[in-house]
Homo-oligomer: A and B are copies of this chain.
Amino acid sequence: MPAAPKKKEGNGEPGVRTPQQARSRRTRARVLEAAVEVFEERGYEESTTAEIARRASVAVGSVYGYFPDKRAIMLEIVQETFARSEMEIIDALAPELWLEGDMRQKVRALVDTAIRARRLRPGIGRIVWERFFSDPLVKEAVETIEGKAVEAIERLLHATAQRGITNVRDIPSTAFVIHTSVEWIASRVVLGEVPGGMLDATINTTSEMISRLILKEPPAS
């Protein structure tokens, strides 16, 4: 890590300008887009603020007009990207969608969604796990969003349990286990090179695993 000059704190409150004017907002967005591009291509550490500025057709100094530092840019992108992925899943978890129809099919569709959701910005997904354990703010942000997804699963399990569709001993841990498993399977499948025909089998098996865990009826022998 380079010089990392001391952040001059206190006195006035020069802060980071909050865009109120249209042009400002547009510039800020351009920087963000450029950063996504660069981060996708090179990862976080390998990306430089200079390159981001260049791609955004903006001066380095201007970048610092919108973000306090490089990390903040990454944080915002990671948050936004991760949230978007999880939102897709959370949406698909709305109880009202699960009260009728073939559960196993829905579970499979859900797993499918989880994987597809991660395909959008795989490079950012990579950064999530790269930074997760080393940057407390990333961890916090990710855990908050994950928490929402877990809650959505919990709500679903409650709703379906009431209808007698599912039968789960301990809903919180079940929600956590399901979420965690699917998250990592999806990440590894998307970010690694999955052996050709293996993808479908993996989705099937994952769905089967979840279905058996939550459904009331015995597995199709």
Contact = CB atoms under 8 A, between A and B. Distances in A.
A167 to B, nearest CB: 8
Interface residues of A, number: 61
Contact of A6 (B6, B191, B202): B6
A8 interface: yes
Interface string A131-151: 111100001000100000000
The quantity of this chain's copies bound in the complex is: 4
Nearest to A6: B6
A142 B43 CA distance: 19
B206 A177 contact: yes
Interface in A133-189: 133-134, 139, 143, 167, 169-170, 172-174, 176-177, 180-181, 183-185, 188
Interface of A: 1-8, 10-13, 15, 42-43, 45-46, 48, 50-51, 54-55, 126, 129-134, 139, 143, 167, 169-170, 172-174, 176-177, 180-181, 183-185, 188, 191-192, 198, 201-202, 204-206, 208-210, 212-213, 218-219, 221
